[in-house]
Amino acid sequence: MMSDIRLTVLAENTVYKQGLIAEHGLSLLIEVDGEKILFDTGQGMTLAHNMNELGIDPESIDSLVLSHSHYDHTSGVQWVLQNNSDLKVYLHSEALKPCFSKRNTLIRDIGMPQNCKDEIEIRKESVIWSDTPTTITPNVTLTGSIPRLIKNEMTDTFYKDAGLTELNTIPDDQAMFIKTSKGLVVILGCNHSGLANTVSYIFSLVERNSIYALIGGMHLRYATSDQVTTNVLRLKELGVQILAPGHCTGFDSLCSLKTAFDQNFIPLSAGTVIEL
């Protein structure tokens, strides 16, 4: 059977192929339905180099999808848009809003860099706002905002201002789901909405109850062992056959997931190619 999807990891925390470089971030090239979709852009320090090494022309990309606003997913936006004049850009309107985090005593601006926001403004005629479920191709859909029906799914707290006076719940967090001949494939950026919330919402949109492949960041880096165990059980219940986590999943969680999925586990690294 021919592959429905070809996915190439362009930016990731780790590297798989000689000549490529790694960074804390995520960028995936997804080839499906005759389209090339760039899912996130990482921090922007590795994207141009890795695409060149892999022989990928930025002008060949049809669409850019941003899973959420954080710098480790959006800092390559300016370079991508300046190197592709016909690109369609899919993002949630809240992705342009400020976002700050506090870790110990350090307060950081972790939102989309201003130069990338400015580039999106220049290209606003190419922007498609995905606040609600949005179709990219006949088989590819973005969730838009994901309802937070399970309140304890998020493992981090974010803010709208440096004074930490107002919470930012990351309403711009969205996932991508793809219908294939083998089943449903779900692509995650950082999964800030939580696995249960994300999957249950997707199932409500497509009237399905199982996932063939789950790929991307699962945001379990700071999860407790109980939270990791809960997520492993949930993935098993969902019938996930191929699990390819990376980026914000966390080393300890990756080890647990590898143990649980064994031969069906694919670690994401820059240069990894997955055909489904």
Tokens describing residue 276: 């489904």
Q: Tokens 């060949």 label which residue?
A: 60
Q: What is the three-class DSSP state of 140?
A: strand
- pLDDT at residue 155 in the model: 61
Give per-residue pLDDT as tens, 209-246: 899 999 999 999 888 888 889 999 999 999 999 999 99
Q: Evaluate whether residue 12 is within a structural domain.
A: yes
Give per-residue pLDDT as tens, 244-267: 999 999 999 999 999 999 999 999
- pLDDT at residue 153 in the model: 65
- pLDDT at residue 34 in the model: 95
Spatial distance between the Cα atoms of 74 and 166, rounded to a whole number of angstroms: 23
Strands (E), the chain: 6-11, 27-32, 35-39, 63-65, 88-91, 100-103, 106-109, 127-129, 134-137, 140-142, 158-159, 176-180, 183-188, 213-217, 242-246, 273-275
Q: Evaluate whether residue 135 is within a structural domain.
A: yes
Give me the domain span that covers residue 232.
Answer: 6-275
Q: Evaluate whether residue 34 is within a structural domain.
A: yes
Q: Evaluate whether residue 230 is within a structural domain.
A: yes
Decide: 190 and 141 in contact? Cβ < 8 Å. Answer: no
Chunked in runs of 10, what are the mean pLDDT values of the chain (276 residues)? 84 96 98 97 97 98 98 98 96 97 94 98 96 97 95 78 95 97 96 93 92 95 88 92 96 94 96 97
Q: How big is the CA angle at 109 (ends 108 and 113), to the nearest 5 degrees?
A: 145
Indicate if the alpha-carbon torsion angle 117, 121, 125, 131 is positive or negative.
positive
Spatial distance between the Cα atoms of 134 and 70, rounded to a whole number of angstroms: 21
Indicate the number of domains in the chain.
1
Q: Which amino acid is at 205?
A: L
- pLDDT at residue 223 in the model: 86
- pLDDT at residue 145 in the model: 97
Q: What is the DSSP letter of 118?
A: H
Decide: 246 and 267 in contact? Cβ < 8 Å. Answer: yes
DSSP H helices, 123-224, are 195-206
Q: What is the three-class DSSP state of 270?
A: strand
Spatial distance between the Cα atoms of 66 and 89, rounded to a whole number of angstroms: 8
List Cβ neighbours of 226 (8 Å cut-off, separation of 6 or more).
none
**pTM of the complete model:** 0.96
CATH number, domain of 46, equals: 3.60.15.10
Q: Evaluate whether residue 1 is within a structural domain.
A: no
- pLDDT at residue 152 in the model: 65
Decide: 10 and 54 in contact? Cβ < 8 Å. Answer: yes
Q: Tokens 């339905």 label which residue?
A: 33
